[in-house]
Chain A
């Protein structure tokens, strides 16, 4: 006999009522914004040859404030966008970003994600992993000035993360992660 004790809502109604979309909208927005601004704004705010990597900055923030699953998806999306814009190195960029973002997202197991210094550790680990893996996968595309370039970018990124950590904390508050735990990632 058919159970009529509950009403199953239409998928669109379930999507609207689903609590997890706010978190996903925010991290996707952050990744897209980072990727869009990287090509346009980052060269304009470069100090000498040191240029921030806004995509890695967004990924570090996501890795610190969410979980490894979301971080892996964020890494995938950022790698896909950046490789598509430049029309090169699709596999190298995606794999390096996915692995680096996932591993960095395990940092909150050993440090408090609300601390500013944790953000510094996050961007440092993420930059070294992402750029190092990228260099391993595509050394000829990166060139011999690689170490100097990433060190300059890393120092710039640490400066930016120290200044803008409050903004990142507002963009991805802990309450959203609670929603995600309650409703599940991509669990409609």
Chain B
């Protein structure tokens, strides 16, 4: 019995030392060799399992939904035609926008190059995703990650062939945000709290924020591009202690069903 307890205590202490060492590496901004080695073994296995399971799911989906796919194709053709029209209109607006920027002498935003990545593993409890691409493809820590619905999170760590993404809902992930209200645009900060909704705070008390307002990234600090949709306001209250307005925001992105995301590659500065 005593031997068992000694093994438990010894291994727990070893875990504590490894944790301290890992934190030290993280603070220095260098990778933990042990963690990288373990990832080098496990992540390729996960990629293999992902490929097999995705193939199986696709096979069964094809069998089940062949009839729906034919009907869906017609719907997609219609949507495609509609989107082409929309695109033409957007291009015209973009030209107009560029002309106005030139008139106002506003510096244009730097171009961003986005890379499509597959989500090979998801840990919702720890608000973490693993992507199938890494530094080899130009993905670096700190790069923003988006999906069709909006902002997903930020790359926390990148290895050669994989990257770890912290979701917007994760604690210590913060993004400057703007609330698009019909009467006035207000700015604040969105911060994850480890739950499904994120906290929008630092809003001025007079900000006319209402339930249902859209929240987009403000682009302050240059880490996240501006105007990426974040979510929708579901609750607003006034924090009387600090005289600031706060809001709860439900993210647009469905984190539990992400398959493909876009990651901003290293910027090509002109």
A residues apposed to B, CB below 8 Å: 32, 35-41, 43-44, 46, 49, 51, 67-69, 72-73, 75-76, 79-81, 83-95, 98-99, 102-103, 105-106, 140-146, 149, 153
Q: How far is the CA of A92 from the CA of B94 in the complex (A)?
A: 50
Closest to A41 in B: B53
B residues apposed to A, CB below 8 Å: 3-5, 7-8, 11-12, 14-16, 18-20, 22-23, 26, 32, 34-39, 42-43, 45-46, 49-50, 53, 57, 120-128, 130, 156-157, 164, 169, 171-172, 193-196, 256
- Contact: A90 with B125, CB < 8 Å? no
- Contact: B18 with A91, CB < 8 Å? yes
- Contact: B130 with A76, CB < 8 Å? no
- Contact: A83 with B171, CB < 8 Å? no
Closest to B51 in A: A40
* B20 contacts across to A, CB distance below 8 A: 91
- Contact: A84 with B34, CB < 8 Å? yes
CB distance from A141 to the nearest CB of B (A): 6
* B5 contacts across to A, CB distance below 8 A: 102
- Contact: B50 with A80, CB < 8 Å? no
- Contact: A140 with B194, CB < 8 Å? yes
CB distance from B225 to the nearest CB of A (A): 24
* A140 contacts across to B, CB distance below 8 A: 171-172, 194
Closest to B169 in A: A143
- Contact: B12 with A95, CB < 8 Å? yes
- Contact: B4 with A69, CB < 8 Å? yes
Central interface residue in A69, A83, A93, A106, by most chain B CB within 10 Å: A83
- Contact: B46 with A83, CB < 8 Å? no
CB distance from A107 to the nearest CB of B (A): 13
- Contact: A143 with B171, CB < 8 Å? yes
23 cross-chain CB contacts under 8 A:
A38-B123, A39-B121, A39-B122, A39-B130, A40-B121, A43-B256, A46-B256, A51-B125, A69-B3, A73-B7, A81-B42, A83-B22, A84-B32, A84-B34, A84-B36, A85-B39, A85-B43, A86-B164, A88-B156, A90-B32, A90-B35, A94-B14, A105-B4
